[in-house]
Amino acid sequence: MRRERVPVAVQPFPAPDILDVPLRQHSGPAAVACVEVGQPVEAGDVIGRATSADGLDVHAPLAGRVAALGRVVTAMDADVPAVRIEVDLSRAEAERPAAQRLPADAPAPELEALVQAARLGGLIDFQPRAGSLAELLRAAGGRADHLIVNTLAAEPVMAADGAEVDEQPETLVRMAAWVGAAVGAKRIWLVVDPAERRRLVRLRKLVQGTPVRLMSLLNKYPQHRPVLLAATVVQRETPPGGTPLDVGVLVVQAVAMLALAEAWCHNFGIDGEGRNREEWTLPEGSDTCAGIARPVDGSARRRCAARRVVTVAGPGVVRPGQYWIPVGTRFADVLTAVGLRRAVKRVIDGGLLTGRAVGDLNAVTTQQTSTIVVLDRVADHVPVPGPCVQCGWCQEDCPVGLDPQKLLDLAERGDAAARLHPQACLECGLCSYVCPAELPLSAGVVAMKRQCGSAGEDA
């Protein structure tokens, strides 16, 4: 895996004939289908409506006809309602979406406008907690005095987000400046891995003259986590179990910024050249947004949140690379399109350290899917936990300074230990990874974390 070179340029992906679009792609409640079987849909049409403030609308990625309403498996959910679309291949856009250029001379929009754009686009916040980007931005208004935009990948194989950044770096910088101004941040940071020299050099040129500051940060796992970015970039420590917003730091993924830029352009009347469209009105059921050109009713094409750059990699894949893959594509179709060189033993949605394996190739990609790793060999041994030798590697390597072997010991004895602060756990899995005795440390710490009353995965 490490020796393989995955092409970095983003490539088009042949449109599949069936899309099973899941109605829940984040941690909030599922949307409710608002289309009927047999109904034709255009790319960008809403097919599922959010039912509450933390829900998200779901859009059709490609044009076609609704074939069925059923349930589907994703890497996140074993069973989630979904809309099956038979794609109209004659109109399916196999080429990549055009780059979005934000207008250079427009004033930075207000926070409410950006929140609306995120909500209309149905965008997730692309973070481990997988909440709604609109809610994140809304919560940040007035609370954040630092904005950190992250381009660091979670794992080296997950190059998809970086590839998207390389496609539209000017848009990223401009959107970072807009979001920073909108939430009232005093400083805006753009974090880049110095190992990506071309990206670093290009972004360094682009941020000159803008309020965005570049920070080059070695990507030592799990540096990409918001809690650790806040600690390293601005030296603010998040209280255990909290989010960086509690200490005034808003951390946003770069790909979320790009998705927001696309949502902004499509919903508020900016065309690919950065010019305002003619008079547009918002479709029914959407809120208005004072002072902004409104999109034309019915012809607004919200292609955001419908396609994502996905890295497909692995030793058995004939054509590894970065692809624009529509949400709802079955893994079977992905594997068929990229070709298999060897028999497949495991398909992982995500990276090797944090990704979840899929048991069924009818499982589909979601907005959160950024990497698909196909393994032809797995070390299929069942871990047999040995006695703890007190080597201390788990405590030494924990990014937040926990004592995992002690927490596992307490978990096994049924004791609670709030004074050891298990809520600070990032669920990065490093403790289990380094343990020479193969103890289930990560599971133990997470169990203590839940027991001591944490809300869920870290922000």
Partner 1 sequence: MSEYTGISLPEPGTLRAVPPPHGRGLPGLVPITLTFALAVLLVAGSGLVLFGWYAFRVLAISVAVSLLAESVFNAVKGRSPSWSESHALLLGVLFGCTLPATAPWRVVVVGALITIVLGEALSGGIGNYLWHPVALGRVAVQVLFAQELTPERWPVLAPGRLLTGSLDRASELTPLHTWGSHVVPAGVDAWLVTPTDDLLRNVLPNAGSDAASALTGFIRDLAPPWFSTLTGVAGGGIGEACTAVVLMAGCVLLWRGFLRGSMLMAAVAAAMAVAIVLPIRTAGPDGAIVSCSLPGFVVREGLPVGAAYVLYQLTAGGFPLVLILLASDPSSSPLTTRGHTFFGLMIGALTILLRVGTGVPAAAYWALMAANTCVPAINRFTRRRVLGT
Q: Give residues in contact with partner 1 (CB under 8 A).
A: 1, 227, 231, 237-240, 242, 316, 318, 332, 335-336, 339-348, 350, 352-361, 373, 375, 378-379, 381, 383-384, 386-393, 395-396, 398-403, 420-421, 424, 429, 432-433, 436-438
From the list 95, 99, 73, 72, the residue with the least C-alpha distance to 15 is 95
User: What's the one-letter identity of residue 24?
Assistant: R
Least separation in angstroms between CB 139 and partner 1:
19
Looking at the Cβ atoms of 196 and 403, the one nearer to partner 1 is 403
For the chain, the straight-line distance linking the first and the last C-alpha, in angstroms and rounded, comes to 29
DSSP E strands: which ranges in 80-186?
Answer: 80-87, 146-150
User: What's the one-letter identity of residue 412?
Assistant: E
Q: What angle do CA 250, 251, 257 make, to 5 degrees?
A: 105
Least separation in angstroms between CB 388 and partner 1:
5
d(C-alpha 372, C-alpha 349), whole Å:
5
Looking at the Cβ atoms of 305 and 334, the one nearer to partner 1 is 334
Least separation in angstroms between CB 286 and partner 1:
38
Looking at the Cβ atoms of 94 and 106, the one nearer to partner 1 is 94
Looking at the Cβ atoms of 118 and 426, the one nearer to partner 1 is 426
How many other CB atoms are found less than 10 A from the CB of residue 95?
Answer: 9
Least separation in angstroms between CB 130 and partner 1:
16
Looking at the Cβ atoms of 216 and 433, the one nearer to partner 1 is 433
Under a CB-based contact definition with an 8 Å cutoff, are residues 171 and 261 in contact? yes
d(C-alpha 98, C-alpha 88), whole Å:
20
Looking at the Cβ atoms of 104 and 379, the one nearer to partner 1 is 379
Looking at the Cβ atoms of 293 and 443, the one nearer to partner 1 is 443
Looking at the Cβ atoms of 286 and 365, the one nearer to partner 1 is 365
Under a CB-based contact definition with an 8 Å cutoff, are residues 85 and 366 in contact? no
CA–centroid distance for 264 within its chain: 18
CA within 13 Å, CB half, 17: 1
Residues in CB range of 406: below 8 A, 6 or more apart: 417, 420
Residues in CB range of 415: below 8 A, 6 or more apart: none
Looking at the Cβ atoms of 140 and 348, the one nearer to partner 1 is 348
Looking at the Cβ atoms of 109 and 399, the one nearer to partner 1 is 399
**Dihedral through CA 286, CA 290, CA 292, CA 294, nearest 10?**
30
Least separation in angstroms between CB 354 and partner 1:
5
d(C-alpha 413, C-alpha 404), whole Å:
14
Least separation in angstroms between CB 432 and partner 1:
7
Least separation in angstroms between CB 200 and partner 1:
27
Helix (H, G, I), strand (E, B) or coil at 373: strand
Least separation in angstroms between CB 233 and partner 1:
14
Least separation in angstroms between CB 385 and partner 1:
9
Report the run of H or E that residue 214 belongs to, with start and end.
strand 212-216
Least separation in angstroms between CB 434 and partner 1:
9
d(C-alpha 230, C-alpha 249), whole Å:
7
